[in-house]
Amino acid sequence: MKKEKQEINPLAKENIYKNLENLEKIIGYTFKNKELLRKALTHPSFSSDYKTDNYEVLEFLGDSVVGLIVSEKLIEKFPKKREGELSKYRALIVSEQGLARLARKINLGDFLILGKTEIIRGGRERDSNLCDAFEALFGAIYLDSDLDTTRKIFLKHFEKEIFNILKERKIKQDYKSYLQELTQKYFNDRPTYKIIEERGPEHQKTYVVKCTFKEFVTIGEGSSKKNAEQKAAQKMIEKLEAYGYSLKNNKKENDENQKEN
């Protein structure tokens, strides 16, 4: 029997809009059509319970918009690179992990409108949700304004970060090892990993791992325990680097000292 969808409680809807005003402040853009913003942040788990649309169509549009902006910037930055190399760079930036990283820079997970089950499963930290909502957000901005405005907002917040993604992928092939080196250097301690969920059939399992270090917690998921741990470690690195803990700074200092000598 098909479950009947409910109407959204007016008070809950009002609170959703108030919360999204904070996101508008973060990105520096006020939507003319507030429904576009709400839709861009609404996960399918919520729309399956309530009479409302979700972000899937806007995600489809945003995928092209973000891809175009990133492509323009790559051509500008690397005018002599061949099409194949530029395609690899773009694929790295607009990958699920890449866009989820950009989404975390504006705390997009805090604004996702999720169903109860998805909240319990850690949906605000899930790369796939963050990536989809990020694309939907820029699809919504594009529809609410124009390409030039969308480009300016994207580059204002993420231009530096997209090139950081390209640089750092070369030095962080093993995120767990990198994270341990980072935590040992600054805290003389190491993170812990714990499997918190396994779902799916035996031949196609998805593992969910929690990485804990001090007061920080990140969630990673993958088709193997190792892959899930790597993703959780990657997110923990991003959290620590946001607070200024980075091996890159140390490397830069060493390089400068060598030049002086």
Active site members:
63, 135
SS3 76: helix
Going 81 to 86 to 88 to 94, the CA torsion angle's sign is: positive
Phi, psi of 54 (to 5 degrees): -120, -175
Query: Do residues 44 and 56 touch, judged by C-beta distance below 8 A?
Result: yes
Q: Are 154 and 138 in contact (CB under 8 A)?
A: yes
Environment class of residue 219 by beta-carbon count within 10 Å: exposed (0-12), middle (13-18) or buried (19+)? Answer: buried
Distance CA 37, CA 21 (A): 10
- What are the residues whose beta carbons fall under 8 Å from the beta carbon of 165, sequence distance 6 or more? 92, 93, 98, 101
Q: Which residues touch 14 (CB under 8 Å, ≥6 apart)? A: none
Tell me the torsion sign for CA atoms 24, 28, 34, 36: negative
Rounded to 5°, the CA angle 69-170-232 comes to 85
Give the pairing type, strands 192-199 and 206-213.
antiparallel
